[in-house]
Amino acid sequence: MQSALIVHSKHTKNYAKKIAKKYKNVIFLEVTKPPTEEILKIRNDRDIVIGIGGGSVIDTAKIISKDKRCIAIPTTAAGAAMTPYATIWGKEKKSVTTKKPILKMDYELLKNLPLNVMQSTVFDALSHAIESFWSKNATLQSRKYSRKAIKLINRYLSKINEHLTKNDINELITAGNLAGHSIAITKTNVIHAVSYPITIKYGVDHGTACGIVLPYFVKYIDDKELPKLFRLNSTEELVALLKKSFIPLPEIENFNVKLIARMAIKYDKINQGPKRINKKNLEEILKNIRKN
Ligand SMILES: [Zn+2]
């Protein structure tokens, strides 16, 4: 029997206890926020690190495990469990390289996801796919992945809050993986660059922050090919669909346009999209978010 450190969230605590029976000398670590610099100081002496939860939990497990085995049992489809990278959130956002975890899927765990978690996951994956699709770095291969991901996710946009079958969830996981493959080639750009300061300053979780800004940048970029992937005729129709699908659209109190623009513009990737972004036009776009 191997010893284990199990990283979990409040939501996956009971599941973690169940898993613990297969290991000896188990230590539990409950994660309530995205990983910060402090996580780097944690020394792990267990044989295996197991992460059960969303992006923050899986990223924490990946960072702590270092050279030891890491198993990821994800409760979201955003892709943290599939990549050898983790994000550390401090005053700024930093990406660290980790080992790629061993992926274990448990449908029972995914079936019981609360709506806001499901929605956050879907909008993160959709942002990955859209940013990759219009990226300056897009290749034939990356576009093949991003197109497929968008078409798959589109089928679920109008029914995220309905009961999802095992097949639905598997398709969403596939879409999340395809979107993950596409950004592995292109990296993300404007939506992610703007979402980071919103997460850092207002504590809005990553996928939700992406979902909030997504329609406004889809409108600004106005990519003529994009609406077709959603079987729509115009950017206006697509913007309306994106806004309607995110229920309820969370409000950020005292949204500071100048501050968010100043922070977002520091990420070089903000200009890896198809249209030039400067501080001035960024502020103009962000003002609309505050109004609505
Ligand atoms: Zn993301």
Residue 256, domain CATH: 1.20.1090.10
Q: Verify that 163 and 212 share a domain, yes or no.
A: yes
Higher pLDDT, 164 or 31: 31
Write out pLDDT tens, residues 5-17: 999 999 899 999 9
Distance (angstroms) between ligand 1 centre and the Cα of 78 equals: 7
Q: Does 211 lie in the same domain as 285?
A: yes
Spacing, Cα 55 to ligand 1 middle (Å)? 9
How many C-beta atoms surround the C-beta of residue 256 within 10 A?
A: 15
Question: Among the three residues 110, 140, 169, which one is the final residue of a domain in this structure?
Answer: 110
CA 22 to ligand 1 centroid distance, Å: 32
Per DSSP, the chain holds a count of helices (H) and strands (E) of 12, 7
Q: Does residue 7 or residue 157 have the better pLDDT?
A: 7
Q: Based on the domain organization, do 28 and 52 belong to the same domain?
A: yes
Domains contained in the chain, number: 2
Q: Which of 63, 94, 110 is the endpoint of a domain?
A: 110
Which of 45, 78, 110 marks a domain boundary? 110
- The pTM score is 0.81
Residues 145, 285 within the same domain:
yes
The residue among 46 and 115 whose pLDDT is bigger is 46
**181 and 102 both lie in a single domain:** no
Contacts 24+ apart (CB under 8 A), 255-263: 255/202, 255/286, 255/289, 255/290, 256/201, 257/283, 257/286, 257/287, 257/290, 258/283, 259/197, 259/201, 260/194, 260/197, 260/198, 260/201, 260/286, 261/286, 263/196, 263/197, 263/200, 263/201
- Does residue 119 share a domain with residue 91? no
pLDDT in tens, 116-153: 778 888 999 999 999 999 999 999 999 999 999 999 99
> 254 and 238 in one domain?
yes
Q: How far is the CA of 197 from the centre of ligand 1 (A)?
A: 13
Strands 69-74 and 48-53: parallel
Cα 12 to averaged position of ligand 1 atoms, centre (Å): 22
Q: Domain holding 16: CATH number? A: 3.40.50.1970
Residues 94 and 193 grouped into a single domain = no
Give the gyration radius of the chain's Cα atoms: 19
Please tell me whether residues 122 and 256 are part of one structural domain: yes
Whether 184 and 68 map to the same domain: the answer is no
Q: From the CA of 26, how far away is ligand 1's center (Å)? A: 31
- What pLDDT shows up at residue 177? 86
Same domain for 164 and 248, yes or no, is yes
23 Cα: distance to centroid of ligand 1 (angstroms): 32
One domain for residues 130 and 78: no
Find the domain containing 217 and state its range. 114-291
- Kindly give the distance from the C-alpha atom of residue 120 to the centroid of ligand 1, in angstroms, as a whole number: 10
pLDDT (tens digit, 9 = 90+) per residue, 233-285?
A: 999 999 999 998 887 666 677 789 999 999 999 999 999 999 999 999 999 99
Which residues have CB under 8 Å from 188's CB, separation 6+?
Answer: 127, 128, 131, 132, 269, 272
